[in-house]
Amino acid sequence: MENKRIICISDLHIPYTSQYFIPFANYACKADKVIFDGDILDLVRCSIKEIKNSHIGQELLEALKKIIKATHTIFIDGNHDPELGKGLTELLGMEIQSFPFYRIGRIGFAHGFQFDPLCKHWNWQLLSKFGPWFFNPPSEWKKRDREKWKEKIGQIYAEAFSFLEKASWCRILVIGHTHYPSVHTLETGQKLADCGDWRDSRSWLEIERGKVEIRTL
Residue 1 lies in a domain: no
Residue 50 lies in a domain: yes
List Cβ<8 Å contacts ≥24 apart for 73-76.
Answer: 73/33, 73/34, 73/35, 73/36, 74/33, 74/34, 74/35, 74/36, 74/99, 74/102, 74/109, 75/36, 75/40, 75/99, 76/35, 76/36, 76/37, 76/38, 76/100, 76/101, 76/102, 76/109, 76/110, 76/111
Residue 174 lies in a domain: yes
Give pLDDT, residue 137.
61
Contact 80, 44 (CB under 8 A): yes
Q: Are strands 72-76 and 33-36 parallel, antiparallel or unpaired?
A: parallel
Give pLDDT, residue 118.
77
Q: What is the pLDDT along the chain (217 residues), one digit of tens a residue?
A: 456 899 999 999 999 999 999 999 999 999 999 999 999 999 988 899 999 999 999 999 999 999 999 999 999 999 989 889 999 999 999 999 999 999 999 999 999 999 998 776 555 555 555 444 455 666 666 666 677 778 888 999 999 999 999 999 999 999 999 999 999 999 999 999 999 999 889 999 999 988 999 999 8
Angle at 33 between CA 176 and CA 106, to 5 degrees: 65
Residue 46 lies in a domain: yes
CATH code of the domain in which 93 resides:
3.60.21.10
Give pLDDT, residue 133.
44
Residue 83 lies in a domain: yes
Number of separate domains in the chain: 1
Using CA atoms, how far residue 163 sits from 65, 115, 123, 169, 191, in Å, is: 33, 9, 21, 11, 12
169-216 pLDDT, tens per residue? 999 999 999 999 999 999 999 999 999 999 889 999 999 988 999 999
Residue 74 lies in a domain: yes
Residues 6+ apart with CB under 8 A from 131: none
List Cβ<8 Å contacts ≥24 apart for 90-98.
Answer: 90/48, 91/41, 91/48, 91/51, 91/52, 91/61, 92/61, 92/64, 92/65, 92/68, 94/65, 94/68, 96/68
Residue 166 lies in a domain: yes
Residue 14 lies in a domain: yes
Using CA atoms, how far residue 133 sits from 44, 86, 127, 130, in Å, is: 9, 24, 10, 9
Give pLDDT, residue 194.
97
Of the candidates 46, 35, 122, the one whose C-alpha atom is nearest the C-alpha of residue 81 is: 46
Query: Could you tell me the residue range of the domain that residue 49 belongs to?
Result: 6-216
Q: How far apart are CA 29 and CA 67, in angstroms?
A: 5
Q: pTM (2 decimals)?
A: 0.90
